[in-house]
Amino acid sequence: MVLACPSRPLALVLLLAACSSTPDGATTETTVGIDPSTGSTDAPSTGTASTEPTTGTTAPTTGDVTTDATTTDASTTTDATTTDASTTDATTTTTTGDTTTDGLVCDLVEITTEQAHAYGGDVLDCGIVDPWNNTVEEWQTAHTCALDAIAAEQQFQLVVWLQGIDSDVGRGYIGVAAREYTIEEIWFDTLGVPITSKADCTSLAPIDGCYDFLGSPCFSCEGLSNGETLCDLP
């Protein structure tokens, strides 16, 4: 019994000691639990998240805008250059076209045809002969055609190219039915003054021996009158 008494105060002391260590432990555990999770983890985490996304987004966006602007300017400059080149070509072509229209061209065949059709009606075409591409028979046929038309007072036209020395020489013959039947001879020489002229004839007389040397006139204009210039240099 004596031994049991001292054990109660010892048990009380141990109990008080245990109770006093519990508040200290609780305080320590609470502080450690809050400080690492709230302070250390949240603060670095928040700072890093705010900085990195913002910086990363801004850099690519700025680069893209700059590149697009540069590309657009280059395209615009190229288009402008192309347009200027096209305009220059068009101007050159127009100028060249205008230059080629200068001067007056005298054409024996065209003039003979116009004179033969001046009064309308049907016109007999006796052809075009030259000393290089036509035979003696073709020359004879063409001139006979003209003589027959004159005999019938029928409108006709005939073009004969002659042998020139340093120029193109030819004759045009026509018969026209106006108030009275008229025969005309047209002279053509590219070095002549004038180049093309005409006169009225009372008749066309055949020249003997003209078919022996093709290229010389086979008709002589008789009763020549009313000479007139038809075409010449301006």
**Model confidence at 10: pLDDT above 90:** no
**Where are the domains positioned within the chain?**
109-231
Looking at residue 119, its pLDDT comes to: 93
pLDDT band, very low/low/confident/very high, at 165 (cuts 50, 70, 90) = confident
What mean pLDDT, rounded, does the chain reach? 71
End-to-end CA distance of the chain: give it in Å, rounded. Answer: 166
CA distance 178 to 10: 169
H or E stretch including 205?
strand 203-206
- Look at 6-10, 22-26, 209-213, 216-220 and tell me which has the smallest mean pLDDT: 22-26
Closest CA to 117 of 201, 172, 176: 176
Looking at residue 83, its pLDDT comes to: 40
Give the up-direction half-sphere exposure of residue 202: CA atoms within 13 A in the CB hemisphere: 4
- Look at 65-69, 166-170, 184-188 and tell me which has the smallest mean pLDDT: 65-69
Q: What's the whole-model pTM score?
A: 0.56
H or E stretch including 229?
strand 225-231
CA distance 96 to 142: 42
Q: Tens of pLDDT along 127-163?
A: 999 999 999 999 999 999 999 999 999 999 999 999 9
Looking at residue 234, its pLDDT comes to: 75
CA distance 108 to 118: 15
Q: Who has greater pLDDT, 74 or 95?
A: 74
Looking at residue 178, its pLDDT comes to: 85
